[in-house]
Structure 1
Amino acid sequence: MNTSSTTVANLLLEVITLPVSDVDRALRFYAHQVGFTLDVDYSPNDAFRVVQLTPPGSNCSIQIGRGLIDWPTGPLRNVYLVVTDLQDTRSRLLERGVEVSEIRHKVPINAWDGGFAPGLDPARRDYASFAEFSDPDGNGWVLQERGYRNI
Structure 2
Amino acid sequence: MKATNTAIKFSVEVVVLPVSDVDRALRFYVNQVGFTLDVDYAPNDLFRVVQLTPPGSGCSIQIGKGTTAAPAGSVQNIYLVVNDVEVARNLLSERGVAVGEIRHKTPIDAWDGSFAPGLDAARKDYASFCEFFDPDGNHWLLQERGYRSS
TM-score with structure 1 setting the length: 0.94
Q: Which residue of 2 aligns with 1:84?
A: 83
Paired amino acid for 1:26: A
Q: d(CA) in 1 for partners of 2:50 and 2:3?
A: 40
1:130 matches 2:129: yes
Paired amino acid for 2:81: V
Residue 73 of structure 1: how far off its partner (Å)? 1.4
Q: Which residue of 2 aligns with 1:26?
A: 25
Listed as ranges, the gaps of 5+ residues in structure 2 are none
Measured against aligned partners, the alpha-carbon deviations of 1:83-120 in whole angstroms (never above 9, x if no partner) come to 00000000000000000000000011111111111000
Alignment RMSD (CA, Å): 1.6
- Decide whether aligned partners of structure 1 residues 84 and 110 sit closer, same or farther in structure 2, where only a CA change above 3 A counts: same
Residue 150 of structure 1: how far off its partner (Å)? 6.4
Residue 44 of structure 1: how far off its partner (Å)? 1.1
Secondary structure of residue in 1 paired with 2:91: helix
Listed as ranges, the gaps of 5+ residues in structure 1 are none
Q: Which residue of 2 aligns with 1:2?
A: 3
- Decide whether aligned partners of structure 1 residues 148 and 86 sit closer, same or farther in structure 2, where only a CA change above 3 A counts: closer
Instruction: Identify the range of structure 1 (38-47 vs 64-73) with the bigger mean alpha-carbon deviation.
Output: 64-73
Q: d(CA) in 1 for partners of 2:47 and 2:28?
A: 20
Q: Which residue of 2 aligns with 1:38?
A: 37
Q: d(CA) in 2 for partners of 1:70 and 1:104?
A: 33
TM-score with structure 2 setting the length: 0.94
Secondary structure of residue in 2 paired with 1:110: helix
Instruction: Identify the range of structure 1 (120-129 vs 66-75) with the bigger mean alpha-carbon deviation.
Output: 66-75
Q: Which residue of 2 aligns with 1:113?
A: 112
Residue 9 of structure 1: how far off its partner (Å)? 1.1
Q: Which residue of 1 aligns with 2:143?
A: 144
Count residues with an aligned counterpart. 149
Q: d(CA) in 2 for partners of 1:68 and 1:115?
A: 36
- Decide whether aligned partners of structure 1 residues 9 and 148 sit closer, same or farther in structure 2, where only a CA change above 3 A counts: farther
